[in-house]
Structure 1
Amino acid sequence: MVDTYYKAMNWNKIEDVVDKATWEKLTSQFWLDTRIPLSNDLDDWRTLSKPEQTVVGHVFGGLTLLDTLQSQDGIQAMLKNVRTQAETAVFNNIQFMESVHAKSYSSIFSTLNSAEEIEEIFEWTDHNEHLQKKAKFINDVYQNGTSLEKKVASVFLESFLFYSGFYTPLYYLGNNKLANVAEIIKLIIRDESVHGTYIGYKFQLGFNDLDSDEQDKMRDWMYDFLYQLYDNEEQYTKSLYEEVGWVDEVMVFLRYNANKALMNLGQSPLFPDGNAEDVNPIVMNGISTGTSNHDFFSQVGNGYLMGKVEAMKDSDYDIGLKDGNSLINKLKK
């Protein structure tokens, strides 16, 4: 018999059932931005003031940069330390969808913005001090951190740092504006919820393998890193929202999501005002608004593709994973 040189992936003999459940969840919610009729938002777009339009453009520019980082460097860094073959397949799916997310923002730009405005957006994105610092903080961990540190950085990115940008479209959706733009964001949020939960689960498996002293060191590093990110995120939020007066409200939303990120990692929440009731109810209403159902035979929304985009709930993050069963149940919903 010839010795095994390369091991074939056997999906009928899975080492970790969470891998299979996550794969099925992610593939069932596959979507593309080309199926959302963004041009239907042009009338709403024209009602926004110039400062508001600038905020929207810069918000999506920042999100484009972070999704580019995640698709080009983040997932690749974590692929070096997978525990199972199926985990590689799940990360490949995540990496592809992060590219879809990044591309989706360009579809929004091409619909709402002029060529000159698009140039300004990317110029701002490439040179905003706090946005670039945020990317550097995360990528330094991807390039130089341990396997567990890389997972922490990824969860903080997807479950926390994205949300300074997500606030804007959710706010407008809660005010019955830019519904199709927000539909793309809600699809992205739904993906990121699964990504953050899954990667947080993989972190917890490794964290539980550490002895108590190593866990304490890991926990100290994690909270120190979160403080570093939070301080920079406060400055980034000011650079985005100071002119329209939303800084304080966005920071509450960020604290809410920072707590969610910690929950994904199996850790205790940090911020006392990081609860759903502390967040602007208009934004929470935007999160809970269901999908639009577009024309079946032309442009179609996520109502046709995957069913309803569900509201985010606190229980989505209460994973408490010992054997993965609670995550599997959540993924089956």
Structure 2
Amino acid sequence: MAHINNGSYTAINWNNIEDELDKATWEKLTQQFWLDTRIPISNDLKHWRGNMSDQERETMNLVFGGLTTLDTLQSQDGMAQLKLDAINQKEEAVLNNIQFMESVHAKSYSSIFETLNEKAEIEKIFDWADTDEFLQFKAHRINDIYQTGTALQKKIASVFLETFLFYSGFYTPLYFLGHNKMLNVAEIIKLIIRDESVHGTYIGYKFQIGFNQLSEEEQTELQTWMYNLLYELYENEEKYTHELYDEIGWTEQVLTFLRYNANKALMNLGQEPMFPDGADDVNPVVMNGLSTSTANHDFFSGVGNGYLLGEVEALDDDDYKKWL
């Protein structure tokens, strides 16, 4: 996006707002700012070493390796490509914020690995993530769209990544949280989910603006492309989920959770759901973990997502609909 007009470089002016949701989202994201260094991950070492089975530790390590890969994709390529299509400077500023927080998310997983694992174990996790067939398929498929797709196709890919594909990994820490395990690790994941909720809804809103400007024929063509992409990604995600969860016995529960979140991604894009699964079909222990309320950390033991941040909740669907 160029900011040079008639030889003059244009300064961003937040007193001249083209879209009120840009300002509202900027304020929400800056209120939610956090860093992994403020969460006492080491407090989970006792659970990690004494209350977790080898299979549980292996599953968590692998899903976090996968999430690191996808957050790296989003921070290095996804937001950079979406910024090229920004329609005003404030939208670009919001995407800058999102890009930075995706880097924070990716770095957070390394902090978890460093706290819980030895160096050789960490290297094994990253070797697996860099070579796993199903993880690499979805990373490459999404990035191909970022590099070659239209502006609206890139937004679809971004929403599918953040509101759907991340959740095969989020299931594990949310499940453990529901069983009172790895509470500080889960706190980081809840902070990430809170961010992703805003990211997916904001980018979905921007998609809907562009989508509504298309002809009926163009809308139908794009919808066909969108649903075909989602089905392709779900087919791969089924294989990825079997690979991660068959041994621990959670596969079917995770697939239900994925279908529920695929529908949420479509809702963010203003589209009809593809799967019959709803919130009532998801493991209630995991659904409870999706709440982004503040954890009960005190000042000395650590900080929860309410410390120095105020009472912050993600913008809900109605906040976005009123601007469409």
Same fold (TM over 0.5): yes
Distance 1:49-1:81 versus aligned 2 partners, 3 A rule: same
SS at match of 1:244: coil
Per-residue CA deviations over 1:48-105 (Å, capped at 9, x if unaligned) read 1111100000000000000000000000011111111100100000000000000000
- Measured in 2, the distance between the counterparts of 1:169 and 1:307 equals 24
Per-residue CA deviations over 1:110-166 (Å, capped at 9, x if unaligned) read 111111110111011111100000101100000000000000000000000000000
SS at match of 2:190: helix
Per-residue CA deviations over 1:272-319 (Å, capped at 9, x if unaligned) read 12x110000111122237432333256322221324575x8xx93466
The letter of the residue matching 1:114 is E
The letter of the residue matching 1:22 is T
Are residue 206 (structure 1) and residue 196 (structure 2) matched? no
Are residue 234 (structure 1) and residue 241 (structure 2) matched? no
Are residue 27 (structure 1) and residue 30 (structure 2) matched? yes
The count of residues paired between Structure 1 and Structure 2 equals 319
Which of 171, 175, 189 aligns to 1:171? It is 175
Cα RMSD for the two superposed structures: 1.7
Are residue 6 (structure 1) and residue 6 (structure 2) matched? no
The letter of the residue matching 2:264 is K
Are residue 276 (structure 1) and residue 267 (structure 2) matched? no
Aligned to 1:250: 254
Distance 1:219-1:51 versus aligned 2 partners, 3 A rule: same
Aligned to 1:264: 268
The letter of the residue matching 2:9 is Y
- Measured in 2, the distance between the counterparts of 1:176 and 1:186 equals 14
Per-residue CA deviations over 1:211-242 (Å, capped at 9, x if unaligned) read 00000001000000000000000001111111
- Measured in 2, the distance between the counterparts of 1:30 and 1:86 equals 18
- Measured in 1, the distance between the counterparts of 2:322 and 2:188 equals 33
Counting aligned pairs with the same residue, the percent is 68
Are residue 299 (structure 1) and residue 302 (structure 2) matched? yes
C-alpha contact 1:263 1:318 (8 A) present in aligned 2: no
Are residue 68 (structure 1) and residue 72 (structure 2) matched? yes
SS at match of 2:161: helix
The letter of the residue matching 1:231 is E
Which of 7, 15, 18 aligns to 1:15? It is 18
Aligned to 1:83: 87
- Measured in 2, the distance between the counterparts of 1:111 and 1:323 equals 43
- Measured in 1, the distance between the counterparts of 2:318 and 2:242 equals 31
SS at match of 1:251: helix
SS at match of 2:239: helix
Are residue 138 (structure 1) and residue 104 (structure 2) matched? no
- Measured in 2, the distance between the counterparts of 1:3 and 1:289 equals 47
Distance 1:270-1:76 versus aligned 2 partners, 3 A rule: same
C-alpha contact 1:293 1:302 (8 A) present in aligned 2: no
C-alpha contact 2:190 2:292 (8 A) present in aligned 1: no
The letter of the residue matching 1:265 is L
The letter of the residue matching 2:54 is K
Matches of residues 85-104 of structure 1 in structure 2 within 5 Å? 85-104=89-108
Deviation at 1:44, TM superposition (A): 1.2
Aligned to 1:126: 130
Distance 1:308-1:178 versus aligned 2 partners, 3 A rule: farther
The letter of the residue matching 2:175 is Y
- Measured in 1, the distance between the counterparts of 2:72 and 2:308 equals 25
- Measured in 2, the distance between the counterparts of 1:8 and 1:84 equals 12
- Measured in 2, the distance between the counterparts of 1:141 and 1:159 equals 17
Deviation at 1:10, TM superposition (A): 0.6
C-alpha contact 2:41 2:185 (8 A) present in aligned 1: yes
Distance 1:318-1:224 versus aligned 2 partners, 3 A rule: farther
Deviation at 1:6, TM superposition (A): 1.1
- Measured in 2, the distance between the counterparts of 1:29 and 1:77 equals 24
Q: Name structure 1 gaps, 5 residues minimum.
A: 325-333
TM-score, normalised with respect to structure 1:
0.92
Which of 178, 197, 209 aligns to 2:201? It is 197
Are residue 158 (structure 1) and residue 162 (structure 2) matched? yes
Q: Name structure 2 gaps, 5 residues minimum.
A: none
C-alpha contact 2:242 2:251 (8 A) present in aligned 1: yes
Which of 37, 41, 46 aligns to 2:44? It is 41
The letter of the residue matching 1:228 is E
C-alpha contact 1:190 1:309 (8 A) present in aligned 2: no
- Measured in 2, the distance between the counterparts of 1:300 and 1:83 equals 37
